[in-house]
Every structure is written in structure tokens, then in C-alpha cells.
Structure 1
Amino acid sequence: MDKIEQDFLQALKTVLGQPNPFVPLHEPEFMGNEWERVKDCLDSTFVSSVGKYVDRFEVMLAEYTGAKYAVAVVNGTAALHIALLLAGVRTGDEVLIPALSFVATANAVSHCGAIPHFIESQFETLGIDPHALNDYLKHCSLSSSEGLTNRLTGRRIAAVIPMHTYGHPVDMSSLLEVANRYHLPVVEDAAESLGSCYRGQHTGTFGQLGTLSFNGNKVITTGGGGAILTNDAKLAQQAKHLTTTAKQPHRWEFFHDAVAWNYRLPNLNAALGCAQMEQLPSLLNRKRLLAQKYQEVFQDVEGVGFVVEPANSQSNYWLNTLRLEEPSLLVRDRLLTVANDAGYQCRPTWTLLHKLPMYADCPHAPLPVAEQLEVSLINVPSSAKLAGAAR
């Protein structure tokens, strides 16, 4: 075992202690009123799309994030799908998304019948690089009638999706300047960033719409689940309408006025979400303690650095992330092997989306930074309860 592998493994042991027998990447935590809320929901028999917990969960999300409206749905992909439709994305359009993202970002674009257009990442934030984007869009055509058009494909570029990678906020001030310059709607993929803020404002509240995820591996979970955030009352009403099969309210009649989706979050899941939201401050505090410990310990590991929250931001540190100072697929995979063999679940970042077979023919910008990040990032165990081991 080489020195970097020995030092890497020893640093994990210092932060996390001995695995017994295995330390997962990210586990949910149920230490509050989860059992009570779920039992109350079961006792009520309102376990599906009708019930008090859906409304309560939406209010809690809106109050916490500062959004005027939150619409709870079945998962983050569904949330992003509907948000893009509401932002005006249509079949045959292109949507700008980071090449370094989870596949759901691209899938939601495809579900609209649109084409993902992959763009560059920023070294400091891991998200979209607004400056590289601005330079890249100078090669597109902008007109008052057609909006922004890709000169090579002739397709309209309908929106841009900043994704807050591992909970680290994108440089939203610069991104919004670029989006406004090119008249691009902004739909935020804040799936990973509940509890993260940029300049004191919660992620997911900068664009026309934002989306959250409550999958089992997120900061809080509803089992599955997601939400659409917006400050626009009309968009919120449309989001709720389209995610509930576009049914017109009536005491008994079934009348639907559009092709729509059955995407609403069940009351049973929302009950779990309400209890999880009550625990959110504690979860975030402990995740920051764990991140601080990683940062301290990995300062002494030559060749490996800890990814800290960007300037002007407060990150939820959803997944703590290490970065090789010299990008190397070989070294990355050696470190992943020794960590997982020792009982610490670590993983690489995602394969860049333009390398996946179903997206290989999609347009993309030059991606030198994203390609370096792909072979240098390592996610390490990040559950809030691990903060106890890190003290």
C-alpha cells in the first residue's frame, strides 16, 4: 500500500473510528416524532394524496426556505420535470445543464421532450461556471422573437439549470447576470442542498422555480419525495394542478382539463417529512461538525484536499467531498478500493453526463474542468450521526 493510500485510510479512521463492520455513505436518521407522525397518519386512514400532513409539510418547506410556495411531489425528478414545463420548456428545445450532475437532471429535460446541452463546471463550487457559460453563449444567436438559439442545431435554448453539487451553492449572482443577459429562465436543481444558502438566501429560491429531493439518502427524507419551490402564485397553482392529474375541484365529479401527472406526495410520506423537518437544524449542525473534522484531518494528507463551502455561501455539506490535488483516475480508484475494502463506503462523483450512451449525441461545451473533477472527486461517509465519532 502506497503512502497516499495509508494516509488516506488513517485519516478516515481518525474521523470515523473503526467500522463496525461498515460505515455507509449517508444514512437517514429517525430520532424525533417520526413514529408518532406516521402512526397518526395511519390511524387517520388518509395515507394517500389527501391529508393534513401534505399541507403542513408544504408550509414547513416554504417557511424554512423563504419561498412563498412549496408543492410536494413524489420525487426530485418529478419536481424538476414539472418545473421545466412551467418554465416554458417544450419538445425540441435545448436546456443548459452541468455535465457534472446526477443523471436525474438530464432525465427531467428528456421527459419534457427536450435535449440536454451540457456545460462547464467551476472548480470552486463544483457547479455551473457562469463565466465559462457567458463566453460560450456568445456563439449563440439572441433575438427578441426567438430568444436564444443554438447556431449549430437551430434549436431554441429554453432554460438553464444550476445544480448545487453536494449541497455547495452555485455562484448565483454571476449566473443570474448571464441568464438575464440572454433571457434564459432559471430553474434550480436544489435536490441536494436543503439547508444551503448563498448570500443568506436559500438555494432553490433564486430562479423562477427550484426543486428539492427527499430521497432516503438526502439530509431529510420522506422515503421518496420532492418539492417545487416558487414565489409566483400562478406557477404554484399550476404546479399543484398538473401534479394532481389536472382534476377540477368538485364534490363528486371527475373532470380533468389537461394531460397531466399523478405526481403528488402521499400523506404518509409527508407525515415522515414533517417530523424530519423538525430535526433539520440538529442534522445540519452535526453535518457541519463532521465536515470541520474532515477538513482538519485531511490537511495532513499530502495530495488530497477537502472541498469547502464556496465564498458567500453556507453549505449543508450533504456529501463531504475530497479532491485529489493531481487529477488521476488510477489514484482515485486505488483510494476508493482501500477505503471500501476497509469498511468505509466511499464513491466517485458521477460519470459526466455526455459520456452516457443515451446522451452521447447531445451538444456540449468544452469541459476541461468537469473532466478534471470527474477523476479527482471522492465522496466520503457523511451521515449526521457520524459527528459523534468525529469529536
Structure 2
Amino acid sequence: MVFIKPILLDAPNLGELEKKYLCDCIDSTVVSSVGENIRIFENKFAEYLKAKKAVSTQSGTAAIHLALYELGIGPGDEVIVPVLTFVATVNPIKYVGATPVFVDVDPETWNIDPNEIEKHITNKTKAIIPVHLYGNPCDMNKIMEISKKYNIPVLEDATESLGATYKDKFTGTFGEINAFSFNGNKIMTTGGGGMIVTNDEKKAEHLKFLVNQAKDNNTDHYFHPEIGFNYRMTNLEASLGLAQFERLPGFLNKKRKFAEIYKQGFENNEKITFQKSYEGAISSYWLPSIKVESHKTIPEIQKELKEKGIPTRRIFPPIVEFPPYKEYKKEEYKNAYEIYKKGLNLPGSTMNDEEQIEYIVEVLNNV
């Protein structure tokens, strides 16, 4: 089958509204980190999530770094994190001088296993970072119970899960400080960019201060009373974000429709298992993901799909595969390695249409 437009894995959906907002911003000449659109974007984002405050950043990684910094985490501290995630979840732990403690994931949802969290808590544990992998919410009830029991703050990595809910509450609103990403391949984009979300207004005020080099705006000259960061979002990025934000409900509806087509298309195929969700969880389906039982390797399957015009991506490798984290014992993460060995991300870009998703199902079932 030949389509007029190519099938896309995770490309952004940009159009006339984005052009208008960006051109308006350029015409205003206020394109850098001083601009009204930044404040509007932050307020709209917090309102959407029913959170008190949102602070924009230059990336999701910057959001995680600042959250850890604001929580006072540093050398000698430990942070519990799933071994199956993008490396940007983990590197900020190193930025602040703390030690990541990796735990295995649930074999069906692929998210951090709450039982493994509790097993790895020590008197050095200062934070827990659950990651809503590929937009799929973690078991936040159990995780927050552990947080309360041991008085350890939760920092949600919601960079992939904007719009996802657990028990009717948005991901990124359970933890004390939480992070979102607007990278070009995310559900909505600002080109780069990220957001910190919190209900602690005092922390939000301090975070807003830190992202702007800790500059004291109450003086008429440059004065910086503490170490700050250049983690500001620009007005240009916020303009793009506002346009994308208006279209977010449509993006989420389309992604969920795609997931429904995939699930129905694979339900009679015993070799393909779709990433499962916890009861009461509604994924954003940033990237629809499956596990394949086959005599073929994932790279072999990818090659066959690519020849038929279908782009795919392997699941994130367990973090302990990377040289900076090689001291950890790989055998402790059997579920993560099983998912990595057999896992595959399927096209989820909202630039695709339903006919293309149905074609992917047909081809993959045959492959």
C-alpha cells in the first residue's frame, strides 16, 4: 500500500495556528526570556492540571535537575529511580552529586515496581522518581503510600505523559515537585522546553527565581544573592506552546484512537502484547508500545517493517547498559531486560491517520 504522506514515528504536528502565534511573537520583537506569553503559558498549564503553580524551563531535564536541587538533594543522598527509562531521568541525579538507586519494573506495565521501591529504601533515600513510561501512568496510590510511610518526597517524571490520568487525577500532580517535557517528539512541543509543576507556592517562587540566574528583580542593577541557572523558556517557545496547548485535546484523542486500533488489531495475535495499564489509569500513549514473542530479533523485525515504510524504535535500554552506570549488577533487572529484548515502539505521531495505523497492524501481524 502506498500512502500520499509517509508514516511518522513521533514527529510533531504543526500548522497554521503555530505559524500565527510565532509570527505574532516575532513581530513584537520580544522573543527571549522576558515576555507575557511565558506567564500565560505557565498559568494555563497549571490550570489545566488543577495544580497551583507551573514554572517553565528550557527542557524536561532542566526541570528534573531543578526539582532535585530545590528538594535539597546532594552528595551522600540516594534517589530511587526505575532502571527502564530515558537517561535524562537519571543524569540530573548525578548533576546534584547524589547516587541513583535503580530498581526493576513491573513486567506488564513496564513502570517502576512499588514493591522494589520499598526493598531499596535506606536512611540515605531522599527522593523517589516514578516515570510514566511512554505516557502510561505508574501505580501512584502505592507509590504515594510508600512516600508517606517513609516521609520521602516523590518527584514525578511526567515528561512523556501530559494528559494521562490515574484515578481521575493528572500525572505530574501527585509528587511534591514534578517535571514535563516539550521536546519536539513529545505530545505537544515548544521546540525544546519543559515545565515544573508543584502545589508548593513557596517552592515555585524560588524555582522561578533560580531559572533566571537567581537574579534579584527588586533592584535596578544586576544582583544575584545565590547560585542560579540559565534554564529559562523563551517567549518564542512559549508562543509555540500556547498554540500547541490549544490543540492538546485533539492530540490526545487521536493518540488514544490509535492505541485502540493497535489493541484491537493485535488481540488475536498471541505473539504480540500491548503495554498494559493499571486499573484506573488512562495513558496518553505518547508512543504505543508492544512486546513481541518471535524467533526473529527486534532489529530483524524493524528491518522488515522499515522496508514497508513503517518506522519503529527499540525500547529504551536499561540505564545500567551505559558506561557511566556500569558498576550496577545487570542480573537484578530481569524484567527490564526482557522488555528491552522484546519491546518495540510503534508510530504514534498525530500527523498519521487511522488508515495508516490499520496498515501497520496488518503488516506487523504478517511479519
TM-score range, shorter chain: over 0.9
Contact 1:32 1:278 in 2 (8 A): no
Match in the other structure for 1:80: 64
Maintained 8 Å contact 1:119/1:364: no
Equivalent residue, structure 1, for 2:23: 39
1:367 corresponding residue in structure 2: 333
Instruction: Summarize the Cα distance change of 1:90–1:191 in structure 2 as closer, same or farther, 3 Å threshold.
Output: same
Q: Are residues 1:351 and 2:317 paired?
A: yes
Q: From 98, 107, 116, give the equivalent of 1:114.
A: 98
Q: Of 163, 166, 171, which aligns to 1:198?
A: 166
> 2-side partners of 1:254 and 1:42: how far apart?
27
Q: Deviations over 1:333-385 (max 9, x none)?
A: 22122112322111111111012101112578922211211112100100123
Instruction: Indicate yes or no: 2:303 matched with 1:337.
Output: yes
User: Residue 181 of structure 1 corresponds to which residue in structure 2?
Assistant: 149
Contact 1:354–1:360, Cα closer than 8 Å, also in 2: yes
Secondary structure, in 3 states, of the residue corresponding to 2:54?
strand
State the match for 1:55 in structure 2: 39
Corresponding position: 1:162 with 2:130: yes
CA distance in 2, matches of 1:124, 1:302: 15
Partners of 1:124 and 1:306 in 2: how far apart?
9
The letter for the 2-side match of 1:386 is: N
Check the 8 A contact 2:80/2:120 in 1, yes or no. Answer: no
CA distance in 2, matches of 1:384, 1:372: 29
Contact 1:22 1:345 in 2 (8 A): no
The separation in 2 between residues aligned to 1:365 and 1:325, in whole angstroms, is 21
Q: Could you tell me how far 1:178 is from its partner in structure 2?
A: 1.5
Offset, 1:64: 1.1
Whether the 8 Å contact between 1:287 and 1:387 is mirrored in structure 2 is no
Deviation at 1:182, TM superposition (A): 2.2
Q: TM-score, normalised by structure 2?
A: 0.93
> Does the aligned pair in 2 maintain the 1:242–1:260 contact within 8 Å?
yes
Q: Report the AA paired with residue 40 of structure 2.
A: R
Q: Does 1:262 align with 2:240?
A: no
RMSD over aligned CA atoms reads: 1.8
CA gap of 1:294–1:18, structure 2 versus 1, over 3 A, is farther
TM-score with structure 1 length normalisation? 0.87
Match of 2:28, as an amino acid?
Answer: S
Distance apart, 1:136 and its partner CA: 3.9
Query: How many Å apart are 1:250 and its aligned residue?
Result: 3.5
Does the C-alpha gap of structure 1 residues 232 and 372 become closer, same or farther in structure 2, counting only changes over 3 Å? Answer: same
Taking the aligned partners of 1:364 and 1:335, their CA distance within structure 2 comes to 25
Which residue of structure 1 aligns with residue 352 of structure 2? 386
Tell me by how many angstroms 1:310 deviates. Answer: 2.6
1:237-316 → structure 2 map (5 Å cutoff)? 237-250=205-218, 252-316=220-284
The yes-or-no answer on 1:99 pairing with 2:83 is yes
How far off is 1:236 after superposition?
Answer: 0.3
Q: Is the 8 A contact 1:116 1:362 kept in 2?
A: no
Matched to 1:81, the amino acid is H
Of 312-321 and 379-388, the range deviating more from structure 2: 379-388
Of stretches 312-321 and 291-300 in structure 1, the one that deviates more from structure 2 is: 291-300
Distance 1:164 1:70 in 2: 19
Do the aligned partners of residues 365 and 231 (structure 1) sit closer, same or farther apart at CA in structure 2, a change above 3 Å counting?
farther
Deviation of the 1:234 alpha carbon: 0.8
Q: Please give the per-residue CA displacement for 1:13-34, whole angstroms capped at 9, x wherever unaligned.
A: xxxx645674221111123521
Question: 1:131–1:378: structure 2 CA closer, same or farther, 3 Å change rule?
Answer: same
Task: Measure how far apart 1:132 and its partner are.
Answer: 2.5
Q: Does 1:69 align with 2:35?
A: no
Q: Any runs of at least 4 consecutive aligned residues in structure 1 with deviations exceeding 3 A, and if so which? A: 17-22, 362-365
Shift in alpha-carbon separation, 1:365–1:247, aligned structure 2, 3 A: farther
User: Offset of 1:251 from its aligned partner?
Assistant: 5.8
The residue matched to 1:187 in structure 2 has which SS?
A: coil
- SS of residue matched to 1:273: helix
Amino acid at match of 2:216: Q
User: 1:121 Cα shift?
Assistant: 0.6
Comparing 243-252 and 159-168, the one that deviates more: 243-252
The percentage of aligned residue pairs carrying the same residue is 38
* Partner secondary structure for residue 323 of structure 1: strand
Distance in 2, matches of 1:136 and 1:161, equals 13
| Cα distance in 2 between the residues matched to 1:191 and 1:30 | 20
Aligned residues: 357
> Relative to structure 2, which stretch is displaced further, 332-341 or 102-111?
332-341
Aligned-partner residue type, residue 387 of structure 1: D
1:85 counterpart SS class: helix
Task: Give me the whole-angstrom Cα distance separating, in 2, the residues matched to 1:158 and 1:364.
Answer: 24
Give distance in 2, aligned partners of 1:173 and 1:91.
Answer: 29
The answer for unaligned runs of 5 or more in structure 1 is: 1-16, 141-147, 149-155
Once the two structures are superposed, what CA deviation does each residue of 1:232-282 show, in whole Å capped at 9, x if it has no partner?
001101110111100001463100011110101000000000000000001
The one-letter amino acid of 2:198's match is T
Pair 210,32 (structure 1): closer, same or farther in 2 beyond 3 Å: farther
